[in-house]
Amino acid sequence: MAIITKITTQQKNQDRFNVFMDHGKGEEFAFSVDSDVLIKFQLKKGMELDDFSFLEIQYQDDIRKAYNLAVNYLARRMRSEKEIKDYLVKKEMDEPIIEEVIHKLIAQKYINDEEYAFAYVRTQANTTDKGPAVIKMELKEKGIDEKILLHALEELPLEQQIEKVAKICEKFFQKHTKESIKVQKQKLENVLLRKGYSFEVITIAMNETEVPKEADEEMDAIRFQGEKAHRRLSQLNGYEYQQKMKQALYRKGFSIDLIERFLTEIENS
């Protein structure tokens, strides 16, 4: 068996110690350990270690390293169990060690997927425009159990979703005044679907939102779009020009009556 000949504190990390041993050929560096492991195994000068003890010390020290990494990672913000596991895998920790660390962190209540899910939903609801579908997808990616995430999404009730979507609608309509009402609503619906809101919530919110567009504003919008189409089609004449303009403006969501008014306006200008 080898004998511990010296234990020194590491200069760059006062919580780790270098252990030197004599295997029968003189003193040499053997391994380093965390202070907790040093105390747990009561390592000291003159102590004899067999191969089994050496392996157990190394195993416990690897657990301590992984645990410290996880705690530092958790110090920045809350994490799900899967996030911790993925982080330790990236740090090249072995699976048995990761499982030991996860078990310890759960026992110490440093990890709690249910608390994490509720906190995540509240944060996203208060700081972003994300809807339930997107938040649900993100929680799945973080390894949250389906039952837990569905319960957590109750923190985002229908009334709150409608209120949030109505605000998005108001801002959107104010920003896209150069487009027809029809196109605005189509684009807005796509935006809201991508944000994770249901058709039910979108329909209710859009119906409750007053579209800030009077007849004069709709005429201004068709003039804006019509002038762009006219520049593109100005080389055409007569019937072909009329048909191409009607097609272009109809695709932009304007009504036939409004298109006729605009074409008459151009013809008389």
pLDDT in tens, 89-135: 999 999 999 999 999 999 999 999 999 999 999 999 999 999 999 99
Beta bridge partners of 87: none
CB atoms within 10 A of CB 44: 10
**Distance from C-alpha of 259 to C-alpha of 246, rounded to nearest angstrom:** 7
The arithmetic mean of pLDDT across residues 25-48, rounded, is: 91
My answer on whether 219 and 249 are in the same domain is yes
My answer on whether 149 and 162 are in the same domain is no
In the block, residue with structure tokens 């350990």: 33
Residue 214 has pLDDT above 70, yes or no: no
Q: Which domain holds residue 32?
A: 1-49
CB atoms within 10 A of CB 115: 13
pLDDT digits (tens, 9 = 90+) for 240-249: 888 888 888 8
Q: How many domains does the chain have?
A: 4
The pTM of this model reads 0.70
Grouping H, G, I as helix, E, B as strand and the rest as coil, residue 3 is strand
The arithmetic mean of pLDDT across residues 57-68, rounded, is: 95
210 — pLDDT class (breaks 50, 70, 90): low
**Distance from C-alpha of 229 to C-alpha of 249, rounded to nearest angstrom:** 8
Q: Is 108 contained in some domain? A: no
